[in-house]
Amino acid sequence: MRSPRKTATELESLPVSAAAATTGPTPTRALRERVVGATAIALAASLVIENMVVLAGAPSYGAPIKEVLAFHAEHPGAVAIAVGMEALNVPLLLGFLTGLHGLIGRRGGGAGADWSRLAVAAGASYSAVLMTYAVLWDGVVLSARKLTEPSPAFELAWHMHAAAFALSLPALGTTLVGAALATHARRLTPLWQLLLGVAGGGLLLAAGAANLAIADGSALLFVGVPGYFAWIVWVLATGVRLVRARTVDRPADASTSDEEE
């Protein structure tokens, strides 16, 4: 009778996910997942701290321009912290997304790899727009120091800052939807995270479509706020799951069907 144990040659011939299902996660693979997970947790923590700083009495985009001037003249330090954290968020975001793409590729790719590529590309676009948003915010603060009354240039910089934020929303929404679909396709995240990601990403896309209105101070911005916090929750939940390194591979036949699709 043949031994039920598979030889090394037989294991090498199996598809990636089928071999993983047979042998279980290796220490190196678990370490990769924990590193990506730790990056995600750091990103979520940075986003929470940044929003606590920004939301502490900051004027909305629809606030009177005199109130905007007064806040930025009196609180340059708070804005400096927020803008500095945006610079930290870029490597954390791109590191998380590229690390996630690597994990998905090692699980066999398939449809998940396509969605993951979309998430990486959208995340890079989001980072670029966010840098424009931060630079314009620097301009608002620097101008506020020298003004006693709002000038047309100051008001324009504020509206462009708002427009850049609004334009970043659809890029973030695409990132969230792509990442949620990619991770769920390779069984890295459960169904509730897929639903959270798709719903949150949809709200961000819808808000971004109202770019001009938001730049003019429209309350349509708040359509995207739940989506933004859904992004933070999704990133944190994914990070915690990866740090725990509980790898759940799909059966070999399921992986094969994905490749055929």
Give DSSP secondary structure letters for 16-33. HHHHHHHH---HHHHHHH
Identity (one letter) of the amino acid at 1?
M
pLDDT confidence bin for 198, thresholds 50/70/90: very high
Q: Which two tokens stand for residue 122?
A: 């959208």
Q: pLDDT value at position 109? A: 58
Instruction: Tell me the C-alpha distance between 43 and 63, whole Å.
Output: 29
How many other C-beta atoms are found inside a 10 Å radius of the C-beta of residue 54?
16
Q: Is the pTM of this model over 0.85?
A: no
pLDDT tens for 104-138 read 887 765 677 889 999 999 999 999 999 999 999 99
- Listing DSSP states for 236-249 in one string gives HHHHHHHHTT---P
